[in-house]
Structure 1
Amino acid sequence: MSNELLFFGGFLLFIILMLAIDLGLFSKSNTAVSFKQAAIMSAVWVAFALGFYVVLRVWGHELHDIQDFARLEEVTKKHLHNIRLIPDDFIASLSLYKQNLALEYITGYVVEYALSVDNIFVMVLVFSSFGVPTQYYHKVLVWGIIGAIVLRFLFIFLGAALISQFGWILYIFGIFLVYTGIMMFIHRNQEEEIDPQNHTVVKFASKYFSVYPTFVKGKFFHAELGKKYVTPLFLVLLVIEFTDLIFAVDSIPAIFAVTKDPYIVFFSNIFAILGLRSMFFLLVNIIHKFHYLKTGLSFLLVFIGSKMLLHDWLTAWGFTTSHSLIVIVSILALSVIASLVFPKKEETSI
């Protein structure tokens, strides 16, 4: 148990340190993040995510303090890892476990990172609808990510606790994901709109807080004539948090189709979230070009939901985590390639 806490605590410490550096380097200047900065930070976060794959591949057994075959068998059964242990060979079995654990992590990371793209579509819409100056995007996104990490932590470990007690919840998750994927496909070409004045979050906040009418130098709060106000930027932050809450309802069940280990779910989730900010600035001006991406994401959700519903049959047929990763990457690659090969026709006005 001590190794488990050290492993998890070290991960949280790393995340806190990186967020502190990120916030300190960019937020105080209130300048727009350039494409070059976004590309560098995206590469850095992807490198960290891939580096953590190596960590799990080498030291993954330390996460649950596996020192003998009995403990390995216990952890494998508890988290439903799709591997066959070799009773007479602890070393070989442990290697299989670490390989599978790392694969589950990277597969979950790809799923979460892909679903984050759909979140970017909505973020772009939120910022444009509220008229947020570009130099304030970064500050909102960083604080939004901090809030998202806390919410995901609660959701993931609550979900893991429920699954351990009520296994049938996985079938509910599967049905929900299939339904969500089908609805996303049906509405893939529908233009989304946000009315800042009538948004649920804005109405709720306006009921309990005094809202200042204009942005105030990137501040969330403002005091004037002895009265304290929340600024429109704070309202945007609340809307972003609310948006992530909605997306978490899809993304967290999706990753439980890949792994039942709550730590692996959390690790892959957090690395995807941390890369979301830089990916936003990387794609904000070109995301409209990937018009088949929502189609790909809808197929992705249907596949993941179906995998959750047919888990026992797929396991019996020899469907492994590697196969899941291949299917997921193929769906995403095809949607991106199709978007580039068959670009969306520009609407012309006469």
Structure 2
Amino acid sequence: MGLASAVHQGGGIRISLNFHLRVASVSPTVQLPRWTGFRFSNHRVSLVHSEEERRASNSYADSQEKLQKSEAYASSVKTVAFWVCSAVAFGVGLGLKEGVGKASEFFAGYILEQSLSVDNLFVFVLIFKYFKVPPMYQNRVLSYGIAGAVFFRLSLILLGTATLQRFEAVNLLLAAVLLFSSFKLFSNDEDDTDLSDNFIVKTCRRFIPVTCVKYFGQATPLLLTVAVIELSDIAFAADSIPAVFGVTRDPFIVFSSNIFAILGLRSLYTLIAEGMADLEYLQPSIAVVLGFIGCKMILDFFGLHISTEASLGFVATSLSAGLLLSLAKKAD
């Protein structure tokens, strides 16, 4: 009997139960419970979710940064357009009140100052990179620099006007300065990106003790940067103000053309700071203009006068050619 068997012994019946237990052999490969697999699977999913969240966060930060840059760019375009339109309106009003000659002098001085300001912005870019100034503080530094530039340029214009009225031969000195600047721009083969040996930077470091303040792990001595910007603008004025004096002797026109060019400088910096390296032919065109005005001042000293209208046409043509050639080369 499989489960029970009957044994007859002495008339008695003894029932014996036989249980047969079968033990299945255990395979050496242990299969994990299903819930354990779900736990590991959920862990992998959580890691994937974390990675996706990190990417989404970075994407959102990048989109916000692009949006802020786009808004800053649009605001700068509006500001530059406002100051350009203001300068044009001022020049037209000046022409209606004082005549076409005064308006031509103003526009010649304004275009000349604006072009020189664009060239000077390249130096400002190098200064900000050298001192590691974060973008959020660059506009503040430029605002301080513009405020100082208005004061210093007014002082230089008044001093230059008084000097030219008393000493006519100073024209030859100013012409020599312009010709020398033109020559330097043409023959500038040195690497100007390293400002460590720059005279202005070394002088400011020597006389201005600076405590470096950390912004995002980078040292940014703003006071020293402002000082370098101010002294650099004074050095630039040594070229630009004599150039405008080569167009007109009227201190009001010299000052007004300088001011209108300076007031839009901060917004203009935002527009072209990233693409200034592409304006390859702007510097040679400025060199041509400075050389022309230097020669004009020499001719004026010896009684050979070149009209303001002709000067305005030459300045506008030269600068436009340099800009168009730069854009054409960039397009290629």
Shorter-chain TM range is 0.7 to 0.9
The alignment's TM-score, normalised by the length of structure 2, stands at 0.73
Do structure 1's residue 296 and structure 2's residue 285 form an aligned pair? yes
- Residue by residue, what CA displacement relative to the aligned partner does 1:169-206 show, whole Å, maximum 9, x if unpaired? 1111112211210121011x53213345x655555555
CA contact (8 A) 1:45 1:271 kept: yes
- Within a 5 Å distance, the mapping from 1:44-193 to structure 2 comes to 44-60=82-98, 98-187=99-188, 189-193=189-193
Q: Which AA in structure 1 matches 2:171? A: L
CA contact (8 A) 1:49 1:271 kept: yes
Taking the aligned partners of 1:143 and 1:170, their CA distance within structure 2 comes to 32
Q: Which residue of 1 aligns with 2:212?
A: 213
CA contact (8 A) 1:291 1:344 kept: no
Which range moves more in the overlay, 145-154 or 279-288? 279-288
Q: Which residue of 2 aligns with 1:272?
A: 261
Aligned length: 261
Taking the aligned partners of 1:298 and 1:99, their CA distance within structure 2 comes to 27
- Residue by residue, what CA displacement relative to the aligned partner does 1:22-60 show, whole Å, maximum 9, x if unpaired? xxxxxxxxx878211111111011011111112212334
Taking the aligned partners of 2:168 and 2:101, their CA distance within structure 1 comes to 22
- Residue by residue, what CA displacement relative to the aligned partner does 1:293-344 show, whole Å, maximum 9, x if unpaired? 11111111101101111125542xxx32111111101100111111122349
Q: CA RMSD in A?
A: 2.3
Q: Which AA in structure 2 matches 1:302? A: G
Secondary structure in 1 matching 2:228: helix
* Alpha-carbon distance change, 160 to 131 in structure 1, aligned in 2, over 3 angstroms: same
Q: Which residue of 1 aligns with 2:76?
A: 38
- Residue by residue, what CA displacement relative to the aligned partner does 1:70-119 show, whole Å, maximum 9, x if unpaired? xxxxxxxxxxxxxxxxxxxxxxxxxxxx2111110111000110111110
CA contact (8 A) 1:109 1:269 kept: yes
CA contact (8 A) 2:106 2:254 kept: yes
* Alpha-carbon distance change, 59 to 216 in structure 1, aligned in 2, over 3 angstroms: farther
Q: Which residue of 1 aligns with 2:58?
A: none
**Structure 2: segments with no counterpart, 5+ residues:** 1-67
Q: Which residue of 1 aligns with 2:273?
A: 284
Q: Which residue of 2 aligns with 1:342?
A: 329
Taking the aligned partners of 1:190 and 1:210, their CA distance within structure 2 comes to 30
Taking the aligned partners of 2:200 and 2:186, their CA distance within structure 1 comes to 27
Q: Which AA in structure 2 matches 1:300? A: V
Q: Which residue of 1 aligns with 2:247?
A: 258
Secondary structure in 1 matching 2:264: helix
Secondary structure in 2 matching 1:34: helix
Taking the aligned partners of 1:308 and 1:133, their CA distance within structure 2 comes to 43
Secondary structure in 2 matching 1:213: coil
Instruction: Give the greater-gyration-radius structure (CA).
Output: 2
Taking the aligned partners of 2:238 and 2:192, their CA distance within structure 1 comes to 19
Q: Which residue of 1 aligns with 2:4?
A: none
Q: Which residue of 1 aligns with 2:61?
A: none
CA contact (8 A) 2:195 2:201 kept: no
**Structure 1: segments with no counterpart, 5+ residues:** 1-30, 61-97, 218-230, 346-350
The alignment's TM-score, normalised by the length of structure 1, stands at 0.70
Q: Which AA in structure 1 matches 2:116? A: L
Give the 4+ runs in structure 1 shifted more than 4 A.
198-210
- Residue by residue, what CA displacement relative to the aligned partner does 1:212-263 show, whole Å, maximum 9, x if unpaired? 222469xxxxxxxxxxxxx701111111111101100000100001000111
After TM superposition, give the deviation of residue 267 of structure 1 in Å.
Answer: 0.5
* Alpha-carbon distance change, 168 to 203 in structure 1, aligned in 2, over 3 angstroms: closer
CA contact (8 A) 1:215 1:233 kept: no
